[in-house]
Structure 1
Amino acid sequence: HMLLEAGWPGSPTLRAACGGEAFSWSLALQLAERTERVWNCYGPTETTVWSAMWAIDPRRGSVSLGRGIANTRLYVLDDSLQLVPVGVPGELYIAGVGLARGYLDRPELTRERFVPDPFAGVPGERMYRTGDRVQWSFDGTLEFLDRRDLQVKVRGFRIELGEIEAALDRHPAVLRCAVVAKHAGLDAHLVGYYVVRDGAAIDAGDLRAHLKAALPAQMIPSLLVELPALPLTPNGKVDRRALATLEAPRTQGVALSPRDELEQSLMAIWQRVLGVADVDRAALPSGSADGRGQAPTIDVGRTFFEQGGTSLLLVRVQRALRTELGIQISVAELFAYPSIETLADHLRQAAPSPAEPVASARRAAPQAELEDLSIAELERAVKASLLDLLDERDVSSP
């Protein structure tokens, strides 16, 4: 990355070996254009640095870990330490002469990470537990998925952050990216950070559309934030802790108002759920209106979470859409279309013809909606319904 950012032209006679961190496809292609050949060299320090290698092939479409080097054995195992079939994710274990003896003065950690090798057939042989999730390809090479410690649970779904980052990285305008799960109490949502290549341009809406074509709704980040550079640790890896502490960016300039009746209805629901009172627009000072001539209390261009929303409150929005507008929509869809603008566009596209109301086009059996919810979302839906019932009745009455 530093070479490219410094404008390095490359050399047609140079062979590059890259390792140390997950090798992004976009970086691999850029280096392949500037060198004779690029190798992805994989291996943790505990196995004496490199354990597998693969020459970048631009026709493949993704970076492979390749095959094990000489005197190295690679196992892909499940949680019961059983070998998994081709195409099934598992954790990578490495065995062979490259294994370190262990961690200096840390016997417990050594026992945890260096475990007996049941496949060696030789007593005393060990294998190293990498913590990397991989799978075998049909050509006999290893595909890196992500780190086990990059698995998070959001709204009851187990999310692989590495899969989201891989989808982001495949966009031609993205140079570097990282995805983190941000927590507020029991609530959590995904935030994607990305750096744009020099000379390229992309807005969050285009990037969101790119992700929707590759990922299920529950894996679409609620926020997509462009940064000039990703924070790095002293050894050059992405500093995820620093990203997790970044505050959501504030919208620059004036807020956007609803464009039509549908967006006005959605805004009214958001205002009530978020506890944002409407304002007397005539009393606002001159110049406080947006480009559409109004001064909204909710910005239709910003996401629900940027404006104080949580997943529990989003369930209330879902219920209000159903009861007030007759719109059946899953919580997963609301996460995928987190602003009034994107949600309204999604609802309009669902209408089969201009003559048919959007609400009618979105009507569906309640059973179908429930099938889209995870267990955690169902629990939140019940809680939200109970809270709404308490709001609607006089709780002081017997």
Structure 2
Amino acid sequence: MAIQALDTIKNWFKTGLKPTQSQFWDTWDSFRHKNERVLIKEVEGLDELLDSKTDETDFKTINGETIIGSGDITLSSGTGLPVSGTQSGIVDNSSLQELGGTDKLINGVRVGAGSGTGTSNTVLGVNALSTSTSGSNNTSVGFGVLELNSTGSSNTGLGESSLHENTTGSFNDAFGRRALSKNTTAIANTAVGSYALSENITSPHNVAIGCSALSKMGSGLGQSTAIGAFCMSDASSTDKNAAIGTYALRYNTSGFSNTAIGHTALGLNTSGHSNNAVGNYSLGAVTTGYGNVGIGKFAGKHITTGNFNIYIGSEGTAEDAASSSIINIGNRFIAKGSKISLTGILNIGTAPVYPDNSTALTAGLTAGDIYRTSTGILMIAY
């Protein structure tokens, strides 16, 4: 196929010359339709151009960075691993890969070992263990957990703001939202449950299990145990109390050395001390009374300010509220001061038999000894 030169075609239109029939067809053969495909081999020199390679010297820069010599471009850390402590997104498929040797933020959550020079710390959470200087062996999981810790060691915090304000306190364990959150220097506390021991600052050796258990304890000698929701929740500066059961010793503020086992046992006690209550609602109305013993549901339910009372399986009466030194066993044996009352039958077969008091004394009995008459009446020598 002949092809007419473009200048020749243009000259025809310029001078008005007419091409021959052959030249006319050659003219149309010199053009291609826009939709017609052109083979690479039909374009002169294109095959050779595509097969050629550019010399090294033609490459001078990439993104403005000068390239000298030849070889691969590698990004690596000082140890040769393709990771970086300052540059994000450099990770390969190595197992247990160290990501730059520093803590990382994943969607704002800190993951790593926390701040400072301490060793064997584990951190997972926003601001967790973020100001530590030399504390070691701490485990911090959750938002703000152990956030203000400086030198405290061997602490475990799990739950939002648990052990948040701890600075130097050690050997504390907090599980639950704001558990032990205000603890600063106190040691060896265990708090399980939201707000358990949340206000504690310096009181040591406490155990609180349950929502808000010992939640207002701030100071004091500590060594108290509270197990149950709101158990000893109002205790503030007390020590050596033991309470098991929901609301047990709930309002105790300064009373010490109390034992309460059962729902709301000693539930209204505020400053009374050395009381022992076993059973739901046992000694539940005591406020300032001390040295009382209650065993059984509602045992001694009316005692408020009385002292040294013993109630076993009995509630007592409303007039007992401020009384002291009462012994009431099942409402059958009742001792109040110098008076003793007995309901039912008492059979003491070994009591000696005397007709009257003078005979009993002559026989060697002393005031307070028991004897019986021949008709079976029990008597007390006087």
Q: State the TM-score bracket (shorter-chain normalisation).
A: under 0.3
Larger Rg: 2
TM-score by length of 1: 0.21
**Greater fraction helix:** 1
TM-score by length of 2: 0.22
Name which structure has the greater RCO, CA cutoff 8 Å, separation 6+: 1
